[in-house]
């Protein structure tokens, strides 16, 4: 095939490689049949053109789900496709109707849940992704539709995942054919599924290649009734590996049940007298006791529960595990030489303990068990002879007993499961699932491997017959044009093993029947018989080994144990012993038979019996329609994410997958009988069936009508090429759909017409009733209304007349009384006036004399009274205006006094402290000087005493001793002792004084420290008081200036003038959208509109006029003013500053209750109802943000006068709160800050209405900001979806980035730039603060980044080199726009596109396969996660430049990191979240 392909220079090819089996490369040079290829590994090789295969450059990097779709069907193409899919965790792949399953060696629970089963239920084969559920569903559908039994053959070598695939098949069949179980019982499918743990516990073990290898073959027959429900099941097992019970090789394990029992609960361990597995001979032959991820204690309980499900009672379970424990104890029995010749006895007390324990568990006699192990009974015609066994033979007898007991136990479990599940004798169809061991080739291959490989040879022949031979025989039988296809046949191997009388099994049986035969004689017999056989050979330097060239490869067998393992007879003593057991379960395992009553066993061969079982299995398979699942083990390390090419390729070759693919595509995979074909597709052309009885001619005409090419017509069937059946089904579905639409249209038309007639009739009746009722109600309402009006007229007339009469009589009475009172008052006034004149005349005469004397005194008294009167009037006038001045002044005076007092105290403390320190210093100096003097005196006295003693000694030495006469100077001694006592008292007194001085010094220090602290606190209080005084002084000054202004306005401006001046506020403030006299005129106009005070005569009390009405009118005028587009003055919004100044002069911020803020909020809400116009929204965003900024600068929360000035404010939580913090510190606020300074913004105490207004205004700023941002997103959203993929030219080629901007009709990037420019101009014209403009464009660019990046990851056609160039050109346009807009408005917008920039930058890089993972994550794409990089690398493809993605090493590194992330935490999505809000 490869030789016929022309390979020019530059072609991509596959060449053989010793390391990776096949490696891809590029043809560098062609010299006839020799070509030179540069491999992707970097090396250059020279090969023959016939040894290379072409590579599909356009194949998707992630592979195809059905390998029959590959452009090039050959080994490297298939191997690469499987590896590509395995790398992305796609473990299933079709090859026609064969499913290939690659073991992932990890849990993939999302592939096997109930939701996945529902997806495959009823789906056509190949419609969904490859899966075992699809194979099971196809088998189930064929069984239901055709009534033919099905079989699913799961094959593969050990560790390939056959058992797991079988479990999933049975789960799906139980899901499809399950039925509700009766109350209190288990359903059949539950028992079938639960039988797996039981059989795995007793039939599975750890091998070199698999931790859960099935050491027996299992064929599960699931029986169905006519409705497709499971009605019964049966489990057939083949060749349990009995030798594993007694013999192990490191690092394998024995059967799981032994380790489960050793990890059982304590009561079971105590009852069975078990211990750690390391103490049992049958378990400690290897160093492997535990499996990673497997808890034997939990598995023990799970096995118990599974036994309950399959119907094994608790008594039987105890008996089962009692037998298992007895087998473990049997293995610990050792033998030594006995007293007699060639005899044996238990070796020591430990062996006797295990012997008694085994007998106790078997419930048999201890002596009988000992005799059965150490003796053998030979029966002759005349007598019975008892023969002793030597220790070695006794050990062999012990192991034989253990193996036969375990084998019988396993067979009993299988029989019990079958009887518990129950078989349906009336079932006519079944689905069989075969799970049997795969090919095995170890360092040491014994009889078990020989039988296992024989089984696989037979199954491989079955596969050949049904996939290869049956295909060719079918074509020959139907006499269609086809070419013979050669394939490898293994019939010669089967003849080598099975043929009678000269096969290996026959020779083995013959050797077993001769007592003196050994494995060496058996091997020599094989060498002589098959020395010329091409499939048989003798290894060099081997005396008894032989090699068979199997279909799966060469396997060398060691014959040492062939003869012993092939013998299958029960020792008579063992049979009799266990049959006599008092335990019914044990005795039931060894029933008495007629053949065994003679006390001698008849020889039988395991090999011959196994041949019969295989023949029975193949007969069952031949009677069913087979389906195949080929399980592949990707590596021998049993670890995930490792794909060994050589290993996988060998399994594919051995499984015949390559031949099956070639046959499926080259032949006719679809064939249907004529009648079935016409019955199914006759609707495509009904005229071909009219009057025609020839089915062959009808089929030909039908196929000609539909226009199919390449089909074949056989004798009884129509043969179609691959894909033609799907095309016919699609046309058939289309015809059926049209027919169904016509039927539905007619039926719906009839139903709608009938429903409309009934509905119309009912509607007319309801309408007539409703209209009559409504008319009656309307008439009654009109009548009642007319009556009410007439009654109201008469009542109102009566009430008005009565009120008028009462009012008239009251007025006359009041007038009469008032007039009389006025006349009496006038008369009284005149009488008093006359009497006063008389009294005055007399008084003046009396007072004239004394007036001169008291003139001076009277004048002084009058002046004082008059001044007091004037002062009281002035006090009343200033009472309202200066109410707070007096309190503040008093507070100021009080604080000044406190400051003076504290200052005086501080100075006094400082003086006292200085005096104390000075006195303390002097006293310390005096004490130190006195101490020094005393020390000097003490030293002098001491020196004098020493000198006197020395003089006395010298004098004593000089005077000759004549006679010892005691001479004592008592006076001197007394004097010295007195002096000494005085010195001691002085020293003690000095020490006391020194201690007291130190105590005083410490107390003084403490006192000084406390006073220092008090002084520091006093200083801090003084600072606080000074600060408070400064604030109060500022407040007093403000109040005084405000009072002066108010007095001046009250004296100069009449009250009526205010109301006349207010309505003209708008016309005076604004003219054509600008101020008349800038800020000063606005201030004057606003101050003149402030409500003034009305002063009356000096004697009247000072009072404030009612201002509610006046303020309401002023607010109306303000709202009418700012509702118009008053524009901007010198870059500042007029409306915002106008509102701010009015609020300041009305003192609305300090008011406890006011409606001004509610009116302003309502005005702003009504003004922004038109959300479509960005120009209108930008105008109000500028005004509201400026007003909010001014209020933020002016307001401070109430009660903050005494607050600590260093307290940190709470961090803002809202979006605009964060923006305001940046707005204050941003240089973009220079204009507003200057304007605020011009207004002399001062802090005022904010009451609740003002604080609420600030919050509401903040909400409106955020709302307007969000409207503008969302309008821009909405405008750009439709364009972004068009910008992710480059438009195509008429020829279909992608447009490059260099042609950007030439075609305006498709240049979507240019339209985005225009939209951004339009909004930027609008925001600039309305003087929106640049900080807000930055936020708008930053979040918009973040939105663009998310949309482009997510589209890139979700659409495979976007991950190309050419598309990357197109998007990169568009991003360059955005970068240019950011530069032109400058940082003042664009801000960090360009940085928001970091994800799409790095992704596109990665797409347009050449030679990606040379880039390492560190370079990608550190230099190229540091911001992207591993999941995102992995997605881009696996989706990347290029149809223009043929650039490759990153190397497989980089992909594997990413996969490892993704696996670690998924283990440590929940898996994160590779998509970005749109958080641009």
Q: Which residues sit in the known binding site for ATP?
A: 156-163
Residue with tokens 């003796």: 375
How many C-beta neighbours within 10 Å does residue 736 have?
A: 11
DSSP 1422: T
The first and second tokens of residue 333, run together, are 């029995």
CB 239 within 8 A of CB 231: no
Q: Give dist(CA 213, CA 201) in Å, integer.
A: 11
The first and second tokens of residue 736, run together, are 């059926």
Q: CB neighbours of 190 closer than 8 A, spacing ≥ 6?
A: 174, 181, 309
Nearest to 9 by CA among 33, 45, 46, 36: 36
Angle at Cα 280 formed by Cα 276 and Cα 281, nearest 5°? 155
Please pick, among 11, 151, 196, 213, the residue that the annotation labels catalytic: 213
Nearest to 445 by CA among 337, 579, 545, 359: 545
Q: Is 210 a catalytic residue?
A: yes
According to DSSP, the β-strands at 21-31 and 12-17 are antiparallel
What ranges in 217-279 are assigned the alpha helix state H? 256-262, 266-272
- HSE-up (13 A, CA, CB side) for residue 1370: 31
Nearest to 613 by CA among 464, 498, 748: 498
DSSP per-residue string spanning 302-359: HHHHHHHHTT--HHHHHHHHHHHHHHHHHHT--EEE-SSTT-EEE-SHHHHHHHHHHH
By residue count, the chain amounts to: 1477
Please pick, among 177, 217, 432, 438, the residue that the annotation labels catalytic: 438
Q: Is 214 a catalytic residue?
A: yes
Q: Give dist(CA 661, CA 467) in Å, integer.
A: 10
How many C-beta neighbours within 10 Å does residue 482 have?
A: 17
Nearest to 928 by CA among 871, 883, 865, 993: 993
Please pick, among 214, 416, 1062, 1194, the residue that the annotation labels catalytic: 214
**Angle 970-1052/883-958 helices, nearest 10 degrees?**
170
How many C-beta neighbours within 10 Å does residue 910 have?
A: 13
CB 652 within 8 A of CB 78: yes
Please pick, among 25, 77, 159, 432, the residue that the annotation labels catalytic: 159
Torsion of CA 809, 811, 816, 820, to 10 degrees: 150
User: Where does residue 353 rank: exposed (0-12), middle (13-18), buried (19+ CB within 10 A)?
Assistant: middle
Cα Rg, the chain, nearest whole Å: 57
Residue numbers belonging to the annotated binding site: 156-163
Give first-to-last CA distance, the chain, whole Å.
61
Nearest to 1340 by CA among 1408, 1279, 1297, 1399: 1279
Q: Is 217 a catalytic residue?
A: no
Q: Is the dihedral of CA 350, 355, 357, 358 positive or negative?
A: positive
Please pick, among 158, 566, 1154, 1425, the residue that the annotation labels catalytic: 158
User: Where does residue 859 rank: exposed (0-12), middle (13-18), buried (19+ CB within 10 A)?
Assistant: exposed
The first and second tokens of residue 109, run together, are 């629970």
Q: Is 1183 a catalytic residue?
A: no
The first and second tokens of residue 1476, run together, are 């641009």
Q: Is 163 a catalytic residue?
A: yes
SS3 assignment, position 1103: coil
Q: Is 213 a catalytic residue?
A: yes
Please pick, among 11, 93, 97, 163, the residue that the annotation labels catalytic: 163
How many angstroms from the chain centroid is the CA of residue 719? 51
- HSE-up (13 A, CA, CB side) for residue 687: 4
CB 24 within 8 A of CB 14: yes
**Angle 695-706/674-681 helices, nearest 10 degrees?**
40
Phi, psi of 432 (to 5 degrees): -105, 135
Q: Give dist(CA 456, CA 464) in Å, integer.
A: 12
Please pick, among 204, 210, 1228, 1350, the residue that the annotation labels catalytic: 210
- Catalytic sites, residue numbers: 158-159, 163, 210, 213-214, 438, 440
């Amino acid at each position: 095939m490869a030789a016929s392909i022309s390979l020019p220079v530059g072609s991509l090819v596959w060449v053989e490689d010793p390391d990776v089996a096949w490696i891809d490369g590029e043809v560098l040079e062609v010299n006839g049949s020799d070509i030179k290829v540069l491999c992707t590994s970097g090396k250059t090789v020279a090969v023959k053109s016939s040894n290379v295969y072409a590579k599909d450059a356009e194949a998707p990097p992630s592979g195809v789900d059905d390998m029959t779709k590959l452009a090039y069907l050959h080994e490297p193409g298939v191997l690469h496709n499987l590896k590509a899919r395995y790398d992305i965790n796609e473990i299933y792949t079709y090859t026609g109707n064969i499913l290939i399953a690659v073991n992932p060696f990890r849990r993939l629970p999302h592939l096997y849940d109930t939701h996945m089963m529902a997806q495959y239920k009823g789906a056509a084969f190949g419609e969904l992704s490859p899966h075992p559920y699809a194979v099971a569903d196809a088998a189930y559908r064929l069984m239901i539709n055709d009534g033919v039994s099905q079989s699913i053959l799961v094959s593969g070598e050990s560790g390939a995942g056959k058992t797991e695939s079988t479990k999933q098949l049975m789960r799906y069949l139980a899901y499809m054919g399950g039925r509700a179980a009766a109350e209190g019982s288990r359903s059949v499918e539950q028992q079938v599924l639960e039988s797996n743990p039981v059989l795995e516990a007793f039939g599975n073990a750890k091998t070199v290649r698999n931790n859960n290898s099935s050491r027996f073959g299992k064929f599960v027959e699931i029986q169905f009734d006519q409705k497709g429900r499971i009605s019964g099941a049966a489990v057939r097992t083949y060749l349990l590996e009995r030798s594993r019970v007694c013999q192990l090789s490191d690092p394998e394990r024995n059967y799981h049940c032994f380790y489960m029992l050793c990890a059982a609960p304590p009561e079971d361990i105590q009852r069975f007298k078990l211990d750690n597995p390391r103490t049992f001979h049958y378990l400690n032959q290897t160093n492997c006791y535990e499996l990673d991820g497997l808890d034997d204690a939990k598995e023990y309980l799970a096995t118990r529960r599974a036994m309950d499900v399959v119907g094994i009672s608790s008594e039987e379970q105890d008996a089962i595990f009692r037998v298992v424990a007895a087998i473990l104890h049997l293995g610990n029995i050792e033998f030594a030489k006995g007293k007699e010749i060639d005899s044996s006895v238990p070796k020591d007390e430990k062996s006797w303990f295990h012997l008694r324990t085994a007998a106790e568990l078997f419930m048999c006699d201890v002596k009988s068990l000992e005799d059965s192990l150490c003796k053998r009974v030979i029966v002759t015609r005349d007598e019975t002879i008892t023969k002793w066994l030597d220790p070695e033979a006794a050990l062999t007898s012990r192991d034989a007993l253990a193996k036969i007991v375990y084998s019988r136990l396993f067979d009993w479990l299988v029989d019990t499961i079958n009887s518990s599940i129950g078989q349906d004798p009336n079932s006519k169809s079944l689905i069989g699932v075969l799970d049997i061991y795969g090919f095995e080739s170890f360092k040491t291959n014994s009889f078990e491997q020989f039988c296992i490989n024989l089984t696989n040879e037979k199954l491989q022949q079955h596969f050949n017959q049904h996939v290869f031979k049956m295909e060719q025989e079918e074509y020959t039988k139907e006499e269609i044009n086809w070419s013979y296809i050669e394939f490898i046949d293994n019939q010669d191997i089967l003849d080598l093993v099975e043929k009678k009388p000269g096969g290996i099994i026959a020779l083995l049986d013959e050797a077993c029947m001769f007592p003196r035969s050994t494995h060496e004689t058996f091997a020599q017999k094989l060498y002589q018989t098959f020395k010329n056989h091409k499939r048989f050979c003798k290894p060099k330097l081997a005396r008894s080994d032989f090699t068979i060239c199997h279909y799966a490869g060469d396997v060398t067998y060691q014959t040492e144990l062939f003869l012993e393992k092939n013998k299958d007879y029960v020792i008579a003593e063992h049979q009799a012993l266990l049959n006599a057991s008092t335990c019914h379960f044990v005795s039931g395992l060894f029933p008495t038979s007629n053949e065994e009553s003679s006390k001698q066993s008849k020889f039988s061969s395991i090999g011959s019996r196994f041949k019969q079982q295989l023949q029975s299995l193949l007969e069952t398979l031949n009677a069913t329609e087979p389906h195949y699942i080929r399980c592949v083990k990707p590596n021998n390390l049993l670890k995930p994410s490792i794909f060994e090419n050589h290993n996988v390729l060998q399994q594919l070759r051995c499984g015949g997958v390559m031949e099956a693919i070639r046959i499926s595509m080259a032949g006719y995979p679809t064939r249907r009988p004529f009648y079935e074909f016409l019955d199914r597709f006759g609707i495509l052309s009904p005229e071909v069936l009219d009057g025609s009885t020839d089915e062959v001619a009808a089929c030909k005409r039908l196929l000609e009508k539909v226009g199919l090419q390449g089909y074949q017509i056989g004798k009884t069937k129509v043969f179609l090429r691959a894909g033609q059946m799907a095309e016919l089904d699609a046309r058939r579905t289309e015809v059926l759909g049209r027919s169904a639409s016509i039927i539905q249209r007619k039926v719906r038309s009839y139903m709608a017409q009938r429903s409309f007639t009934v509905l119309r009739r009912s509607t007319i009746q309801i309408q007539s009733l409703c209209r009559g009722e409504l008319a009656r109600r309307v008439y009654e309402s009109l009548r009642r209304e007319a009556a009410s009006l007439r009654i109201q007229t008469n009542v109102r007339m009566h009430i008005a007349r009565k009120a008028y009469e009462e009012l008239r009589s009251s007025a006359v009475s009041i007038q009469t009384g008032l007039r009389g009172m006025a006349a009496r008052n006038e008369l009284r006034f005149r009488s008093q006036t006359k009497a006063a004149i008389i009294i005055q005349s007399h008084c003046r005469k009396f007072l004239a004399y004394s007036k001169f004397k008291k003139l001076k005194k009277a004048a002084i008294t009058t002046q004082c009274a008059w001044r007091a009167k004037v002062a009281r009037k002035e006090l009343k006038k200033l009472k309202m205006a200066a109410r707070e001045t007096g309190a503040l002044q008093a507070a100021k005076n009080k604080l000044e006094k406190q400051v003076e007092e504290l200052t005086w105290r501080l100075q006094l403390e400082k003086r006292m402290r200085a005096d104390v320190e000075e006195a303390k210093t002097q006293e310390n100096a005096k004490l130190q000087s006195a101490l020094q003097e005393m020390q000097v005196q003490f030293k002098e006295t001491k020196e004098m005493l020493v000198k006197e003693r020395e003089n006395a000694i010298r004098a004593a030495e000089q005077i000759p001793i004549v006679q010892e006469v005691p001479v004592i100077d008592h006076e001197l001694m007394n004097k010295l002792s007195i002096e000494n006592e005085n010195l001691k008292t002085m020293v003690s007194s000095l020490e006391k004084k020194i201690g007291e001085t130190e105590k005083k010094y410490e107390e003084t220090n403490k006192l000084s420290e406390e006073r220092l602290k008090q002084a520091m606190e006093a200083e801090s209080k003084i600072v606080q008081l000074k600060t408070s005084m400064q604030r109060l002084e500022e407040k007093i000054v403000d109040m005084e200036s405000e009072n002066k202004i108010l007095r001046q306005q009250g004296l100069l401006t009449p009250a009526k003038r205010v109301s006349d001046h207010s309505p003209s506020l708008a016309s005076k403030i604004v003219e054509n959208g600008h101020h008349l006299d800038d800020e000063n005129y606005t201030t004057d106009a606003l101050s003149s509109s402030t409500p003034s005070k009305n002063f009356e005569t000096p004697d009247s009390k000072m009072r404030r006029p009612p201002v509610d009405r006046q303020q309401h009118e002023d607010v109306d005028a303000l709202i009418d003013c700012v509702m118009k587009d008053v524009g901007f003055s010198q870059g500042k919004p007029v409306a915002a500053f106008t509102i701010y100044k009015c609020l300041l002069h009305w003192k609305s911020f300090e008011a406890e209750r006011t409606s001004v803020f509610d009116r302003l909020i309502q005005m702003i809400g009504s003004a922004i109802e038109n959300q479509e116009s960005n120009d209108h929204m930008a105008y109000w965003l500028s005004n509201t943000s400026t007003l909010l900024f001014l209020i933020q600068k002016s307001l401070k929360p109430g009660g903050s006068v005494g607050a600590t000035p260093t307290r940190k404010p709470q961090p803002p939580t809202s979006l605009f709160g964060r923006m305001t913090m940046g707005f204050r510190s941003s240089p973009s606020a220079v204009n507003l800050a200057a304007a605020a300074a011009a207004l002399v913004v001062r802090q005022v105490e904010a009451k609740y209405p003002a604080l609420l207004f600030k919050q509401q205004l903040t909400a409106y700023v955020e709302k307007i900001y969000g409207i503008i941002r969302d309008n821009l997103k909405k405008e750009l959203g439709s364009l972004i979806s068009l910008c992710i993929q480059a438009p195509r030219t008429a020829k279909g080629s992608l447009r490059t980035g260099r042609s950007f901007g030439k075609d305006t009709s498709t240049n979507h990037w240019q339209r985005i730039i225009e939209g951004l420019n339009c909004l930027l101009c609008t925001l600039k014209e309305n003087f929106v603060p640049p900080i807000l403009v930055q936020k708008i464009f930053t979040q918009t660019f973040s939105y663009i980044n998310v949309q482009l990046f997510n589209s890139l990851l979700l659409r495979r056609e976007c991950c190309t080199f050419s598309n990357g160039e197109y998007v990169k050109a568009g991003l360059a346009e955005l970068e240019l726009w950011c530069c032109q807009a400058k940082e003042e408005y664009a801000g960090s917008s360009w940085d928001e596109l970091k994800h799409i920039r790095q992704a596109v930058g990665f797409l347009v890089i050449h030679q990606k396969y040379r880039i390492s993972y560190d370079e990608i994550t550190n230099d190229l794409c540091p911001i992207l996660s591993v999941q995102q990089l992995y997605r881009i690398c696996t989706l990347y493809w290029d149809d223009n430049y043929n650039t490759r993605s990153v190397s497989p090493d980089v992909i594997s590194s990413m996969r490892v990191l993704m696996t670690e992330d998924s283990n440590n935490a929940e898996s994160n999505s590779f998509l970005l979240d749109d958080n641009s809000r």
